[in-house]
Amino acid sequence: MGLCIFSIGLAGKWLFSLTGVVVRASVCGMIEPTSDEIAYDQERLRQFVRGEARAHGLSRRSLLRLLALATGPGAAVAAAAGPARAGTPGIPTIVKPLPPEVFTVRGTNAETNFEALAGLGRAEPASHFFVRNHTATPRLDAANWRLRVFGDGLRSKPSAADAVTFDYHDLRRLPARTLDAFVECAGNGRSFYTTQQGQAVSGTAWRLGAIGQARWRGVPLSTVLRRAGITGGAIDVMPQGLDDEYVANGENLGRVRRPLPVAKALDDVLVAYEMNGAPLPPDHGYPVRLIVPSWVGIASIKWVGDIEVSTSPLLSPWNTQFYRLFGDTWPGGASPPLTTQVTKSAFELAWNAALDGGGSRRVRLTGRSWSGQGRVTKVEVSTDGATTWRRARLLDAPARNQWVRWEYDWRRPASGPAILAARATDETGATQPASVPPNTQGYLFGAVVLHPVTVT
């Protein structure tokens, strides 16, 4: 039912697009999608309605529904889809240990507890890195693994059956690059739409721990695509995971996959096989995943098995019914597909942490801030519920695609409850606001988070 309603909302948006209204998510000031994705999206939608775009794997049912609706009057977005199907009880969906001090398990996913990052480096060990699985971590063998690249956007125009293939050793022999980058779920911070803004949203109720940063190593996707024979006519590149097909509300949406505009695919995307100097762990994409720096985590497809390169626009549920902003704030009811992550900050403290230090000279607070839109240049901290602010000290050099660690000395804290807050400013000048407009699936919560503590 939820998905049905999403489809209606989307069709409404498509109709709107056809009437020539330019859909810009930046109207709400929250995100700045790249012009590439906006342009491609408009083209995808026009071509889809003309029957030219290929939406293979969108279920027949939802396609028929979309097609029917695209010729009728647009309808408003109503409610949101339910959460992912939970893992089968007793069968772990995540392979690595999930000690409760480090992780909070949420369905098939594991959120990093921010207090567990205190004292750790800028790159976080895999033992602490959050996991977002639509189904379950597959156990793959690098020796049998192949990356198959196919599609009419390659010189030889191979079909999926006779794709250009790379094995693990082929990939390891190509010129490698190292990339320090965070991966963050678009839904990170989602629970605060409800707890701070009183809004109902669907999806995993993350606090701020659906982010992690590591040092990735692998081959630029541009190198792989050029070796595979990408042509100037290619416009969309769609990586697909080898994990199980994803079933939501009784509908099989197929394998996890999401198109990338070719401009991003050829820019800074990494086909990664190492995390922090070791082979990728199973939960983080072994043997090979994409890292799409600064974009919503869903773009960084894990366990990648094939990549389609297309001269016509590609669609998947992950750029149509998920990972757009749905709601009244957007013309036609939906934003373009999400690209860059917004600015956020988190204290390395438990929720309702007890801080030992009432009456002492100072309590040192630490945290991390990040932005997908540019380097974080300034962080401010409030110890009085976001009323007055003071500068925190940055412990890392601001860098693109990376978080910065910071510290703040809270002078003479009074005993009792207090509300902490941190807000970052990135190089675009954007500072975290006090609140953000809602969207039904609760993506991109970039507002200041009020963090309760008690000083004892």
Residues that bind Mo ion (CB under 5 A): 132, 185, 297-298
Least distance CB 40 / ligand MTE (angstroms): 20
Question: Is residue 214 close enough to count as binding ligand MTE by CB under 6 A?
Answer: no
> Minimal distance in Å, beta carbon 455 to ligand MTE?
33
Nearer to Mo ion, 243 or 380 (CB): 243
Gap between the terminal Cα atoms of the chain: 49
State the minimum distance, in angstroms, from the CB of residue 20 to Mo ion: 32
Q: Which CB atom, from 62 or from 188, has the smaller least distance to ligand MTE?
A: 188
* Spatial contact of 365 and 407, defined as CB atoms under 8 Å apart: yes
AA identity, residue 354: A
Of 8-16, 132-140, 156-164, 228-236, the segment contacting ligand MTE by CB under 6 A is 132-140
**Checking phi first, is residue 297 left (phi over 0); if not, alpha (psi -120 to 50) or beta?**
alpha
Whichever of 275 and 292 has its CB closer to Mo ion, that residue is: 292
- As a whole number of angstroms, the distance between CA 7 and CA 11 comes to 6
CB of 181 to Mo ion, least distance (A): 15
Q: Which one of Mo ion, ligand MTE, none is in contact with 331 (Cβ closer than 5 to 8 A by kind)?
A: none
Q: Residue 205 and residue 199: Cα distance in Å, rounded? A: 12
Q: Please select the residue that binds ligand MTE; options are 9, 293, 297, 438, rule is CB under 6 A.
A: 297
d(C-alpha 435, C-alpha 431), whole Å: 11
Nearer to ligand MTE, 301 or 381 (CB): 301
Closer to Mo ion at the Cβ: 135 or 383?
Answer: 135
Q: Is 238 in the site for ligand MTE (CB under 6 A)?
A: no
The DSSP call for residue 210 is S
Residues 145-184 contacting ligand MTE, CB under 6 A: 183
User: Could you say whether residue 443 binds ligand MTE (CB under 6 A)?
Assistant: no
In the complex, the smallest distance separating the C-beta of residue 132 from ligand MTE, rounded to whole angstroms, is 4
> Which amino acid appears at position 40 of this protein?
Y
Q: In what helix (H) or strand (E) does residue 241 lie, and over which residues does it extend?
A: strand 236-241
Nearest Cα residue to 303 out of 418, 188, 131 = 131
The C-alpha atoms of residue 67 and residue 238 are separated, in whole angstroms, by 22
Q: Give the helix/strand (H/E) hosting 393.
A: strand 393-394
303: contact with ligand MTE by CB under 6 A: yes
133 near ligand MTE, judged by CB under 6 A: yes
Distance from C-alpha of 80 to C-alpha of 315, rounded to nearest angstrom? 20
Ramachandran category for residue 219: left, alpha or beta (phi over 0 → left; psi -120 to 50 → alpha):
beta
Q: Which of 7, 300, 335, 440 binds ligand MTE (CB under 6 A)?
A: 300
Taking the least distance from each CB to ligand MTE, the nearer of 109 and 425 is 109
Are 449 and 345 within 8 A, CB to CB? yes
Contact residues toward ligand MTE (CB under 6 A) are: 129-134, 183, 185, 212, 241, 243, 256, 284, 297-298, 300-303
